[in-house]
A and B are shown apart, each in its own frame.
Chain A
Amino acid sequence: MAFSQDEVLAGLAEIVNDETGIATASVQLDKSFTDDLDIDSISMMTIVVNAEDKFGVKIPDEEVKNLITVGDAVSFIVSAQG
Chain B
Amino acid sequence: MLNLILALSSGVVGGLIVAMMPQANHRLRNLVVLVFSASGMVFSWRVAQMVFAGESVKIAGEFGGLAWSLAPDPLGAVFGLIASTLWLFAAVYSFGYMAQKHKQRTYYTFLLISLSVTLGVAFSGNLVALYLFYELLTFATYPLVIHERSSEAVKAGSKYILYSLSGAGAILIAIVITYRWAGNLDFAGGPILVGCLKPGLSWLLLLFVGGFGVKAAIMPLHRWLPAAMIAPTPVSALLHAVAVVYSGVYGILRVVYSVFGHELMGQLSFASILPWIAAFTILVGVAIATQQDVLKRRLAYHTISQLSYILLGAFTLQPWGLTGAILHMISYSTLKVTLFFCAGIIAEQTGETKVSRMGGVGWSLPKTMAAFGIASLGMIGMLPLNTFWSKYYLMKGSVAGGRWPLALVLIGSGIINALCFIPTVVTAFSGERVRSDTEQGGRVALMLAPTMFLAAISLFIGLWPGIVWSGVQAVVDWFF
A and B from one assembly? no
B residues engaging A (CB < 8 A)? none
Chain A residues with CB under 8 Å of chain B are none
